[in-house]
Amino acid sequence: MTVRIQEEEFDPGTEISGFCRGRRDIGAVVTFTGIVRDVKDTLNHMRIEHYPGMTEAALGKIEAEAVERWDLGDSLVIHRYGDMKPGDLIMMVATAAPHRADAFAAAEFLMDYLKSRAPFWKKEITQSGEAWVDATEADEAALDRWSS
Amino acid sequence: MIEVLYFAWVRERIGIPREKVETSATTVMDLVEELRVREERYAMAFSDLSALRVALDQELGEFDAPLSGVREVAFFPPMTGG
C-alpha cells in the first residue's frame, strides 16, 4: 500500500511497470488516471490545494478499508497538488489482485472515496476569473453503493 | 489553545491559512460562534455551515463534537479530489 502526495509530475508508464514487479501471486492490475480537462475551452489552469497530514491519513484509511473488503495484493495512490494545465495528469490509482474482479472493484472504491473524503480542493483559473470547483451530489451518492 | 486551519474559499474569506485561538469553547459549534462574532470576514466564512466540513485532529468530524483534548481544528468546503 503506497500513498504519494506530490507537486511534481509522474509518469504512469513507469509507475505501472514498477508496480508489483516480480510478484508471483498477482493476476490482475487495474489502473485509473485522472486528467485535467477543459470542457468549455476556457480553462487556463487548475490549482489543487490539500491538507498536508490529513491527506495522507485519509488516503491510508481508505486504502486499509479496501484491503479489508477485497483480496488485494497491493495498491498505489498518487495525487498531485499545485498548478496543472489541461491535459496534465492529476492523479492515479493502481490496484493489484489475484483476480480482476477484486482489482476493478477496489480501484472504483478508492476513486469514489478519494473524490469526496480526501482533503483536496480544486480551483479553476479561466480567462475570465477563478472559481472553486463545487462538490457534486453525484460524487456523494457514489459512496452509497459501498455502504452495505 | 487550539490551532485552527482554513482551506480553499474559507481560507480566502478569512484571509489567513491558520491561527492559534485561545478559547474556552467546549464544542466545535461554540468555537464557530466565537469566531463569527470576531469580525465580518469570519461571519461571512461561517454564514452557512451546511457548506462547510470540519476536521478534528485531521479526522472528519461533526459540528457538535466536543473539543476536549483536540489540538487542531480545520474548516473547509466539501472536498473535490480525484
Tens digits of residue pLDDT in B18-59: 999 999 999 999 999 999 999 999 999 999 999 999 999 999
Using an 8 Å Cβ cutoff, are A113 and A143 in contact? yes
Contacts of A51 in chain B (CB under 8 A): 5, 7, 55, 58, 74, 76
pLDDT of residue A103: 98
In chain B, residues with a C-beta closer than 8 Å to the C-beta of A133 are 80
Distance CA B40, CA B46 (A): 10
Mean residue pLDDT across chain B: 97
The pLDDT of residue A147 is above 90: no
pLDDT for B27: 98
* CB pairs A-B closer than 8 Å: 71
pLDDT tens digits, A53-98: 999 999 999 999 999 999 999 999 999 999 999 999 999 999 999 9
The three three-digit cell numbers of residue A92, written as one number? 492515479
Instruction: Name which of A1, A5, A3, A2 is nearest A90 in CA terms.
Output: A5
Per the DSSP assignment, residues forming a β-bridge with B73 are B4, B56
What predicted TM-score, i.e. pTM, was given to this entire model? Answer: 0.94
Q: What strands, in cross-sheet order, belong to the sheet with A43-50? A: A82-84, A43-50, A120-126, A129-132
Residues A110-129 have a mean pLDDT of 95
Q: Are B7 and B48 a contacting pair, CB within 8 Å?
A: no
Does residue B49 form part of some domain? yes
CB contact under 8 A, A135 and B55: no
Which pLDDT belongs to residue A148? 66
Q: State the ipTM, two decimals.
A: 0.95
In angstroms, the CA B44 to CA B47 distance is 5
In this prediction, residue A140 carries a pLDDT of 86
Yes or no: say if A86 and A50 are a contact pair by the CB < 8 Å rule. no
Question: Which 93-132 residues of chain A touch chain B by CB within 8 A?
Answer: 111, 114-123, 132
Q: Among partner residues B60, B76, B82, which is closest to A114 by beta-carbon distance?
A: B82
Nearest CB to A133; choose among B5, B59, B80 = B80
Tell me how far apart the terminal alpha carbons of chain B are, to the nearest angstrom: 34
- Give the closest residue to B31 by CA, choosing from B7, B55, B12, B8: B55
Torsion angle of the four alpha carbons A11, A17, A21, A27, in this order, in degrees rounded to the nearest 10? 120
| Superfamily of the domain at A2-146 | Molybdopterin biosynthesis MoaE subunit (3.90.1170.40)
In whole angstroms, what is the distance from residue B20 CA to residue A61 CA? 28
CATH code at B35?
3.10.20.30
The verdict on residue B55 lying in a domain is yes
Alpha-carbon gap: B20 to the closest alpha carbon of chain A (Å): 17
Q: In what order do the strands lie in the sheet with A2-6?
A: A2-6, A74-80, A89-97, A28-35
Dihedral angle sign, alpha carbons of residues A19, A21, A23, A29: positive
> Does B17 touch chain A if contact means CB atoms closer than 8 Å?
no
Smallest CA-to-CA distance from A117 within B11, B53, B48 is with: B53
Within a domain: residue B81?
A: no
Domain that residue B45 falls in:
2-76
Instruction: Return the pLDDT at A137.
Output: 87
> Are the beta carbons of A97 and A70 closer than 8 angstroms?
yes
Q: CB–CB of A118 and B80 under 8 A?
A: no
A115-140 b/e with 16+ CB inside 10 Å = b? Answer: bbbbbbbbbbeeeeeeebeebeeebe
Domain total in chain B: 1
Of B48, B71, B80, which to mutate for an interface test with A (greatest number of A Cβ within 10 Å)?
Answer: B80
C-alpha cell at A11: 509518469
In a domain, B82, yes or no: no
Is residue B17 in a domain? Answer: yes
pLDDT digits (tens, 9 = 90+) for A15-61: 999 999 999 999 999 999 999 999 889 999 999 999 999 999 999 99
